[in-house]
Structure 1
Amino acid sequence: MDDKLQVAIIQAELEWENSEANLEMFSEKIKAISDKAELIVLPEMFTTGFSMNAENLAEETKGKTLNWMIETAKHKNAAITGSVIIKDHGEYYNRLFFVFPDGDYKIYDKRHTFTLAKENLTYTAGKDRLIVEYKGWKICPLVCYDLRFPVWARNTEDYDLLIYVANWPEKRVNAWDALLKARAIENMSYCIGLNRTGEDGDGYVYNGHSAAYDVLGNAITGLDRSDEFVEEFELSKKEMLETREKLKFLQDRDSFSLD
């Protein structure tokens, strides 16, 4: 078991519906990340912004963005994750990729499509939750609106790290701050929320507040920053497990199943 996990998060402004510009921008920011980083986290729909223009923007699963992620992961010898607009068998998905350093990858399709923005009318909701095993860590990656639904995130598999990649608007950022902290506390897990900043093509403003919390809800990094930044930090599985063993809160969780 690897005790430590070195994580890098990139909070950035996205060029609206411009995948080439966004991939170039992230390539430059990733160059500055140290060789110690083992996991790089990017926002939701990081090549386009949160767009409902799927018909014109969607890529095939093994398209240019996944290829870019694979090449980047291999070059940095680090896993990389974020979501992209994908067309698969005639359906559109807000699909998260978790790409390993060797180029292998896992997918998670966003379960809770955002009805307020009519995401549910464009994108097909995912059905399966993903638990990734990486360097001795069990990681549960989720997407934006999933944050509002604690049952979907409930730690029934004893995962170690919960990740949310997002385009979460400024007007509801208080909920973002509160729910990220709550998800860490109730699941006795590290929780990372990676949001974007800037304004999108629909006029929505994003002010970041990307952050990481430990199992007791203590902030590790981030919080109220609204500027662009790249930050690296270290997580300790040993410290997490010691806290779980001492407090034993997860042992008292309710048993349930999801349909």
Structure 2
Amino acid sequence: MNTLKITTFQAYLFWENIEKNLQNLGLRLSSIREKTDLIVLPEMFSTGFSMNPEQLAEEMDGKTMKWMHQQAKKFDCVLTGSIIIKEDKKYLNRLIWMRPDGTYEYYDKRHLFGLGEEDKHYSSGNKKLFVELHGWKICPMICYDLRFPVWLRNIDEDYDMLLIVANWPERRSLHWRTLIPARAIENQAFVVAVNRVGHDGNEIYHSGDSMCIDPNGKVIYYKPNDEDLYTFSINKEDLITARESFPFLKDADKFRLDIK
């Protein structure tokens, strides 16, 4: 499939209230009227960016996973976003890639946000995730990972689209708005980045600024400040043309990180 249709939800999140978030998200998603291939929610969409995993973490058969399957099945598409998971006595900021049939894959956030003490409450992942959707190779990442280009390197065209889900505060929005186009250009890939909006439980404001950037740095979608449910398409021909016109990736260094 040359075209991939993506629905992003730049959502307001209710602080540490799983039930209310799932209810609100489900209500808002119900307004989707056109067929979509992928629905993207923010980081920790069921709780907000909380450092209280002891009270909020769910198992992999918990209510949020069941809700994700219901929504993916309802819209006959993949649904993704990150949630707080407890596994083997560890707490993880885990992105779930949920398919309509209930099968899923996941990515555990590699770079934990030390400034917010995420590293004191959660365990980091050590493995990237590459998924395929209608002929598109996609690499999902979480928020702070955006700052680490070596981890996000597109070696040997590993991916066509880099996906970032986030709770990125407005006070550092300039960094967000700068790094996303940089990741698109240097990796010759589409970047879809979905943030939240509004104040969290620590009175930190999030301005959203969710966006889609093409491999040449062109803005396909951008939305600041307001809650926004939006569907757009990206085209494989644009990706192929960009890579053939400027074949930078073949000249890139081939090293990979040795993660222990």
- Normalization by structure 1: what TM-score? 0.97
Residue 212 of structure 1 aligns to a residue whose secondary structure is strand
The residue that corresponds to 1:194 in the other structure is: 194
Query: What's the offset of the Cα at 1:157?
Result: 4.5
Alignment partners' CA distance in 2, 1:6 and 1:165:
17
- 1:141-166 CA deviation, whole Å, 9 max, x = no partner? 00000000000110014111101000
Cα RMSD (Å): 0.8
Query: What's the offset of the Cα at 1:65?
Result: 0.6
The residue that corresponds to 2:128 in the other structure is: 129
Q: How does 1:1-259 map to 2 (within 5 A)?
A: 2-158=1-157, 159-223=159-223, 225-259=224-258
Residue 14 of structure 1 aligns to a residue whose secondary structure is coil
Alignment partners' CA distance in 2, 1:257 and 1:163:
20
Amino acid at match of 2:242: T
Contact (CA 8 Å) 1:35, 1:76: kept in 2 or not? no
Residue 183 of structure 1 aligns to a residue whose secondary structure is helix
Alignment partners' CA distance in 2, 1:71 and 1:101:
8
- 1:153-195 CA deviation, whole Å, 9 max, x = no partner? 1001411110100000000000000001100000000001100
Structure 1: segments with no counterpart, 5+ residues = none
Query: What's the offset of the Cα at 1:243?
Result: 1.5
Alignment partners' CA distance in 1, 2:156 and 2:102:
25
Amino acid at match of 1:163: L
Runs of 4+ in 1 over 6 A off after TM superposition: none
Alignment partners' CA distance in 1, 2:143 and 2:126:
16
Mark the CA change 1:75 to 1:157 in structure 2 (over 3 Å): closer, same or farther: farther
- 1:21-53 CA deviation, whole Å, 9 max, x = no partner? 100111011111233211000000000000000
- Normalization by structure 2: what TM-score? 0.97
Amino acid at match of 1:226: N
Alignment partners' CA distance in 1, 2:120 and 2:254:
33
Percent identical across equivalent pairs?
48
Pairs aligned (count): 257
Alignment partners' CA distance in 1, 2:56 and 2:145:
23
Alignment partners' CA distance in 1, 2:244 and 2:35:
29
Amino acid at match of 1:211: M
Alignment partners' CA distance in 2, 1:33 and 1:240:
27
Residue 5 of structure 2 aligns to a residue whose secondary structure is strand
